[in-house]
Amino acid sequence: MADPGARRGADVQAARENVQIAGPRSRELFERASLVIPGGVDSPVRAFRAVGGSPWFVASGDGAHVVDVDGTRYLDYVQSWGASILGHAHPALVEAVRAAAGRGTTFGAPTEGEVELAERVTASVPGCEMVRFVSSGTEAAMTAVRLARGATGRDRIVKFAGCYHGHSDGLLAAGGSGVATLGLPDSAGVPAGAVADTVVAPYNTVPDIDERVACVVVEPVAANMGLVAPAPGFLDGLRRACDEAGALLVFDEVITGFRLGRDGASGRFGVRPDLWCFGKVVGGGLPLAALGGRRELMEVLAPSGPVYQAGTLSGNPLATAAGIAALDLLDAEAYETLAERVGRLASGLEGAFDDAGVVAQVPVVGTLLGVFFADEPVGNYEDARRAAANGHYARFFTSMARRAVALAPSPYEVLFTSLAHGDAEIDLTIEAAAASAKELAAS
C-alpha cells in the first residue's frame, strides 16, 4: 500500500519547485476568495494543492479554450470535468439556454423539457427505462443507494477503492478524485455509523457478495483515480455475483455516460446494471444529473413508491434545455470523431514521453484518456497511488500550463477532450507535451 504521507511529501516537494503560473489578477481574486470561501474554491481539487501555486480564474471559454482573468488563453482538458463535451459556449447550447431563460428559470412544476430529455436518455441506453433528474452526480449516487436499500430491504453497499461517487456520507469511504488528491482516506464529519454498512473492495477484483448486500456501486470505467479500464471479466463477474446474491448492480456513469457513446459503458461492455447514475455530459454543462433504471425498480421512488427523494431545482428548465441541445449533437459520428482524436492524442503523448525517455503510460478507453507516470500497469487504486507518488504529474502539469495547456490539477483525473479539440489543438498539445516531457526528464 502506498504511504499517503510519502505521496503528499512528493506532491508538496513538486509544488515547491513550481513557479506561480496564475497571473496577478487571478492571484488577487484567489486572495479575496480565500477570505470568503474556504480554501478559495467551491470544490477542493480546483485549489491546485496537488500541483502547486494557485488557480487561474476563468473569465470565459470558447470551444476547446478557456481564457483567464489575466488574458491567458489555455487549451483546456478539464472541460468542467467532462461536462462540456461540445467544448465551451457551443452556440446551439448557448441559444437553447438563452431561450429557456427567457421563459423563466424555475417553476417547481413539471416542464416539457424533462419529458424530452428523459425520452432521449431512455431511448439511448438499453435497459434504462425510466430516469429521475437531480442536480448533481452526488445526488444521483446517493439516491441510487437509498433506492437499492429500499428495494432490497438490505443495508450493506459495496464500493471500490478509488472510485468516486460524489460526496454523500456513505459513499465517501476511499473515494477517488479530490478525496484521493488530498490524501484523505475519508472525510472528517462522517460518523462511523454512516459508513458502517459500506464495504470497500479493490477495483478490478470481483468481491464476495452475499445476501446482506443491497447494491454494488462501480464506475464501469474508473476515471477518478486516473483512467483505469475494467479488466476482462470484471463487470460480467459483478453482474453474476449480484444476481446470485440478489443484490443490485449500480453503474455510476456520471463520467462514462454519453461520453463513451450514446449507450455509455453499459453499451460498450455489454453488461446491464440495475441502476445507472448519469451526470456531467447529460446536463450539457448545467447542474443536472440523473438516476435511471428498470421501470419496476424506479417506481419504488416517491411518489409512486416508498423511497423518498426530491429537489427544488430538479429537472430545471435551463438544465434540461442544455441537456437536450447537447444530446441532439451527440450522434455516432460525433463519438467516432472524438475517439479518433483521443487516439491520436494518445499516440502523440506516448511518442513524446518515449522520445524524452520519460516512463509513462497513456491508457485509453474509447473517448477517455489518462496519463500515469509509471511503468507498472495500473489496475486499481493502490497501483494508481504508487504511480502518483513520484510527483512527476505536478511537474508535467506545470510545464504544460506554462505552454498554455490546462490539464486537471491532480494526478487522479483524466484528460477530457471535447469535440472542439480539432486536429490543430491535438497537434499543439502533442508539441507542448514533447517539450514538457524533455523538461521532466531533465528535472
Ligand X SMILES: *Cc1c(COP(=O)(O)O)cnc(C)c1O
Grid coordinates representing 25? 489578477
Nearest distance, CB of residue 190 and ligand X, angstroms: 16
Compute CA distances 30 → 40, 47, 278, whole Å. Answer: 6, 9, 32
Comparison of 97 and 254: residue with beta carbon closer to ligand X: 254
The whole-angstrom distance between residue 165's C-alpha and the CA centroid of its chain comes to: 9
Binding window for ligand X (CB under 6 A); candidates: 26-34, 130-138, 227-235, 361-369 = 130-138
How does 250-280 read in b/e, with b if 16+ C-beta sit within 10 Å? bbbbbbbbbbbbbbbbbbbbebbbbbbbbbb
- The reply to whether 70 belongs to the active site is no
The footprint of ligand X on residues 265-284 (CB under 6 A) is 279
At 79, which amino acid appears?
Q
413 binds ligand X (CB under 6 A): no
Q: Which residue among the candidates 11, 76, 252, 383 is catalytic per the annotation?
A: 252
Number of residues engaging ligand X in binding (CB under 6 A): 15
Mark out the alpha helices in 67-169 (DSSP H runs): 91-102, 112-124, 137-152
Cβ 186 to ligand X, closest distance in Å?
16
Judged by CB under 6 A, does residue 114 bind ligand X?
Answer: no
Query: Closest approach of Cβ 280 to ligand X, in Å?
Result: 6
Quick one: 229 or 289, whose CB is closer to ligand X? 289
**Contact between residue 29 and residue 69 where contact means Cβ atoms under 8 Å apart:** yes
Residue 61: helix, strand or coil by DSSP? Answer: strand
Task: Tell me the window of 9-17, 251-259, 334-342, 389-397 that interacts with ligand X (CB under 6 A).
Answer: 251-259
| Least distance from ligand X to the Cβ atom of residue 332, Å | 24
Residue among 179 and 388 whose Cβ is closer to ligand X: 179
CB of 348 to ligand X, least distance (A): 25
Q: Which amino acid is located at 286 in the chain?
A: L
Cell 463477474, residue located? 237
Q: Please, which residue, 50 or 289, has the CB nearer to ligand X?
A: 289
Q: Provide the mask over 148-167, with x wherever binding to ligand X is found by CB under 6 A and - wherever it is not.
A: ----------------xxx-
Q: Can you tell me the distance from the alpha carbon of 381 to that of 225, in angstroms, rounded to the nearest whole number?
A: 6
Q: Enumerate residues 205-244 that contact ligand X by CB under 6 A.
A: 219, 224
Task: Name which of 74 and 164 has its Cβ closer to ligand X.
Answer: 164
> Is 308 considered catalytic here?
no
Which one, of 219, 237, 234, lies nearest residue 160 by Cα?
A: 219
Q: Are 272 and 248 in contact (CB under 8 A)?
A: no
Cα–Cα distance, 406 to 182 (Å, whole number): 20
Instruction: Please give the residues from 334 up to 373 whose contact with ligand X meets the rule CB under 6 A.
Output: none
Smallest gap, in angstroms, from Cβ of residue 287 to ligand X?
A: 8
Per-residue cell: 379: 489496475
Pick the binder of ligand X from 18, 26, 84, 138 (CB under 6 A). 138
Find the part of the chain contacting ligand X (CB under 6 A) among 65-73, 99-107, 117-125, 131-139: 131-139
Nearest Cα to Cα of residue 72 among 53, 92, 57, 83? 57
Between CA 383 and CA 53 the distance in angstroms is: 27
User: Shortest Cβ distance from residue 351 to ligand X (Å)?
Assistant: 29
| Active-site residue (options: 11, 77, 280, 393) | 280
Q: Which residue from 14, 29, 148, 254 is in contact with ligand X, where contact means CB under 6 A? A: 254
Q: Which amino acid is present at 301? A: L
Collapsed DSSP state (helix, strand, coil) of residue 200: strand
Q: Is 55 in the site for ligand X (CB under 6 A)?
A: no
69 or 148: CB nearest ligand X: 148
CA 219 to each of CA 177, 227, 252, 291, 431: distance values in angstroms, whole numbers, following the listed order = 12, 11, 5, 14, 32
Alpha-carbon span 71 to 326, nearest angstrom: 28
Report the nearest approach of ligand X to the CB of residue 375 (Å). 27
79 binds ligand X (CB under 6 A): no
Integer CA distances (angstroms), 327 to 117, 212, 287, 321, 428, in order: 9, 38, 15, 10, 28
Span interacting with ligand X, options 64-72, 135-143, 206-214, 422-430, rule CB under 6 A: 135-143
Question: Is residue 407 within 8 Å of 77, Cβ to Cβ?
Answer: yes
Give the contacts of 154 (CB within 8 A, at least 6 positions apart). 211, 212, 213, 214, 247
Catalytic residue (one of 74, 77, 164, 381): 164
Select from 136, 198, 398, 418 the one that contacts ligand X (CB under 6 A). Answer: 136
Is 393 catalytic? The answer is no
The residue with its CB nearest to ligand X is 137
Question: What are the catalytic residues?
Answer: 164, 252, 280
Name the site residues for ligand X (rule: CB under 6 A).
Answer: 81, 136-138, 141, 164-166, 219, 224, 252, 254-255, 279, 289
